[in-house]
A and B are shown apart, each in its own frame.
Chain A
Amino acid sequence: QQQVKQSPQSLIVQKGGISIINCAYENTAFDYFPWYQQFPGKGPALLIAIRPDVSEKKEGRFTISFNKSAKQFSLHIMDSQPGDSATYFCAASIANTGKLIFGQGTTLQVKP
């Protein structure tokens, strides 16, 4: 019940295309859903986050779509660029527990 399942494991997209990564969770007590981006040799960095009271959040080329009834959320990267090539992790937590549950990660490669 504490798991966050992420798919696909890897993704190859052409430059300018749309990258879509999906996550699903079981614990309905989760109320904070961030996405982290990790480059090789670096720690994860927060990309964008959403709370379940909204269905969509957009920041630049990055959008989170959230479906509370299906317990699913996804990251859309519009106009994907080679610089977006990285590993992306979805995560979930219950407020104030200090414990992020991460998905398994998606390795994105954007081809020029």
Chain B
Amino acid sequence: DIQLTQSPSSLSASVGDRVIITCRASQMVAGYINWYQQKAGKAPKLLISAAFSLQSGVPSRFRGSGSGAEFTLTISDLQPEDFATYYCQQSYSRQLTFGGGTKVEI
């Protein structure tokens, strides 16, 4: 299976900050990385597909980038509603895998 390692596992930030979350794959995944946001007690929500394609309705302060085996999710101008846990996920291989998550706290 392709392993996805997210860093950091948690971070503290303030409203207005810029936050960068990294997702490293154990092998090349050809840009097939998706990002999800999960708030406490809720189902995850798809934010970004194929490394950088913002889903409809997702604010433009969310940006995905990267290629090969290293990807980042950048949240600019952090808003109160952005405090959540973020997961990367690969669908390069037929065995889907997720990163361990990054909790963004106030």
Are A and B interaction partners? no
